[in-house]
Amino acid sequence: MGISDDRRFEALSGDLKDAIARGDTAYLLEALDDASFNVRVAAVAGLGELGGEQARMALVRTARDRWGQKPELRVAALRSLRGISEPERYVTLLEEFITGENRKVVAASRGILRDIDPDGFPGRLVARGCVDHAAIRVYGVSRESSALGLLDGYMRDRMAAGDISSTRQWGKVYAAARALGNIKGPASVQTLENLQAWLQEAPQAEKKGFPGQRLAKIREETVRAIESARSGGEEGRGAGHAT
């Protein structure tokens, strides 16, 4: 941003403050189309302060505009919506953004959702079919038994594709094995034993270099996870958190 832009924003920010003070939603809606990113951020914050259905709808459109708006502005819109949306409606909106989205938007929406509903958060990830690394770790920490189907499906897909030792997948497989050990129970044991059998078959077990090292780490964690899963008897906490 050049000097002229800085001065222009200072002038416009004063106008935006005045618009907020007089409750001028229309002015803030026009500011959402401004070329300056800073002006749009300020307008988003102002709409969150004023509230009302017009403001809410504009903020929802901004949050959903993945091609026209920067992730930071979309996140700002999501945060502004928290104070002016009905709780259930807001949670439902957030769930749209917790997978298949820009990483910044995913991380922010998950953080807000976890803050609002910490107990139900793992189940909400399951309901959206999240099997990224962060989600898998949540399932393990929370011992979310409703994630067993997702984890089993993920393991089966990786074994079928033969890419368990790939740079992109091996960390997730390792985390999934650990999560299954934490969740415990017969279903976890079965999935882990299937993985163990796959790891023992040639040629996977004979790979050298980094793939071999990765497989060795996964193999060690699988053995530990099987012992842990067997020791727990019943599976981890039940499903029923997602709505």
pLDDT in tens, 151-180: 999 999 999 999 999 999 999 999 999 999
Residue 3 has pLDDT above 70, yes or no: no
pLDDT at 201: 85
- From residue 65, alpha-carbon distances to 59, 61, 71, 140, 169 in Å are 10, 6, 9, 33, 30
Residue 37 CA to residue 203 CA, distance in Å, equals 54
pLDDT at 81: 98
- Looking at per-residue pLDDT, the higher value among 205 and 24 belongs to 24
> Would you call the peptide bond into 203 cis, given omega within 30 degrees of 0 as the criterion?
yes
What is the overall mean pLDDT for the chain?
Answer: 90
Q: Which tens digit of pLDDT belongs to each residue from 94-147?
A: 999 999 999 999 999 999 999 999 999 999 999 999 999 999 999 999 999 999
Q: Which domains does the chain have, with CATH numbers?
A: 3-116 (1.25.10.10), 124-231 (no CATH)
pLDDT at 236: 72
pLDDT at 238: 60
- Looking at per-residue pLDDT, the higher value among 205 and 185 belongs to 185
pLDDT at 209: 87
pLDDT at 137: 98
pLDDT at 104: 97
pLDDT at 67: 93
**Helix 209-231 and helix 170-183, axial crossing angle in degrees, nearest 10:** 10
Place of tokens 């700002």: 76
pLDDT category at 1 given cuts 50, 70, 90 is very low
pLDDT at 15: 84
Alpha helices in the chain (DSSP H): 3-21, 25-31, 37-50, 53-64, 71-81, 87-95, 103-116, 121-127, 133-142, 148-161, 170-183, 186-200, 209-231
CB 62 within 8 A of CB 48: no
Q: Which tens digit of pLDDT belongs to each residue from 39-69?
A: 999 999 999 999 999 999 999 999 999 999 9
Classify the C-alpha dihedral 114-150-180-102 as positive or negative. Answer: negative
